[in-house]
Amino acid sequence: MKNIKFANKDKIERLKDIIRAGLNTHIDNDYVLLDVPNHSNIGDTLIWQGELEYLKELDYKCLYTSNIYTYNSKNISESAVILLHGGGNFGDVWRFNQNFRNKIIQDFPNNKIIIFPQTLHYSDAQNALYDAKLYANHPNLIICTRDNVSFEIAKKYFQRNQLLLLPDMAFFNDFTKFHTDTKTGNTLFLQRLDKELGDVVLLDKYLDKARFEDNRVVVRDWPGFYNKGTLKYKMNYWANVVETLGSKMLIDSPLSFLVDDAYGLHGRNYKNKRIRTGINFINQYDTVYSTRLHGFILAVLLNKEVFIFDNSYGKNRTFFDSWLSDFENVKLILE
């Protein structure tokens, strides 16, 4: 394959260097990585793989990895650095993950704990005050935020903890071998189907414009996400129920050999399959309009032309403003 110009290669290396400068000195012993995703969200899987790619550069080894459902506190020694998976679930939008994070911070007051880069968002200040009080009791907790607004929220509520402002860990993924200069003529509107969807009117405005200019426009969410009420949604829902409940029931039983601490019942190749599914999905299109943060991050990593819509509470906009405003072929849509 002939060489293809990677428009933002140097800028991505700069983001990786910021992460290295922020974290390398803090991860100073063997570690565990907790709360890794065992679900179908490709974006969270990209973060997880980016975390693994970063950790490969360090001299320390991973002692234990688990998702929420397979977690066992007995596998964590007092000397281990506890790393908590990054993403966009810090606060009260996705409280289930926050409650798990809170439990780890309460249960391990003697371990260094590092929360990988997160977007922080609270709809209720009382939830922020509750979390802040709990976190203030931990003497060695580092919270990494992944945008300027989240950093300001952290400074307001979590001033007793060490705070870092770092890019998303997904930028450690190198997908240059999947770059292509073959034009498909297709345009993707990656429209999320959950409660984080932002301004639908603005999205429809650009969708109508794109369809007027070219009818080869596709509207989809990530593979594996479906509209509520459809048969595929119900099948996916119950598959997730079986996976999560099955993992919890079997992990402490004589059949525990069927459950992987990180992958649950999915099998050890599940993460790689989800990532390849995401790459193949994005590579069907020349241009991507995304309402998902990692939809546009993956499109950037695949060297696409990318347009970004904000989500329901400003996550996409603040991330773009913090790190991507000087990127080539990447634009934020506000009006």
pLDDT of 155 over the 60 cut: yes
Q: Give residue 261's identity as a one-letter amino acid code.
A: D
What pLDDT, on a 0 to 100 scale, did the predictor assign at position 93? Answer: 85
Region 155-169: mean pLDDT is 97
pLDDT in tens, 11-56: 999 999 999 999 999 999 999 999 999 888 899 999 999 999 999 9
**pLDDT band for position 233 (50/70/90)?**
confident
Query: E-assigned strands of the chain?
Result: 31-34, 62-66, 81-84, 87-91, 113-121, 141-145, 162-165, 187-190, 217-220, 287-290, 305-308, 330-332
Lowest mean pLDDT among 130-134, 236-240, 314-318: 236-240
What pLDDT, on a 0 to 100 scale, did the predictor assign at position 2? Answer: 57
Query: How would DSSP label each residue in 274-299?
Result: HHHHHHHHHTT-SEEEESSHHHHHHH
Q: Give the residues across from 114 on adjacent strands.
A: 83, 142
Q: Give residue 289's identity as a one-letter amino acid code.
A: Y
Contact 298, 42 (CB under 8 A): yes
pLDDT in tens, 171-204: 999 999 999 999 999 999 999 988 888 888 999 9
Burial annotation 169-190 (CB, 10 A radius, 16+ → b, else e): bbbbbebeeebeeeeeeebbbb
What pLDDT, on a 0 to 100 scale, did the predictor assign at position 1? Answer: 47
Cα–Cα distance between 141 and 256 in angstroms, integer? 32
Q: How far is CA 67 from CA 52, 59, 85, 150, 242, in A?
A: 15, 24, 9, 24, 15
pTM of this structure: 0.94
Q: What are the structural domains, with CATH classification, of the chain?
A: 9-172 (3.40.50), 179-226+267-332 (3.40.50)
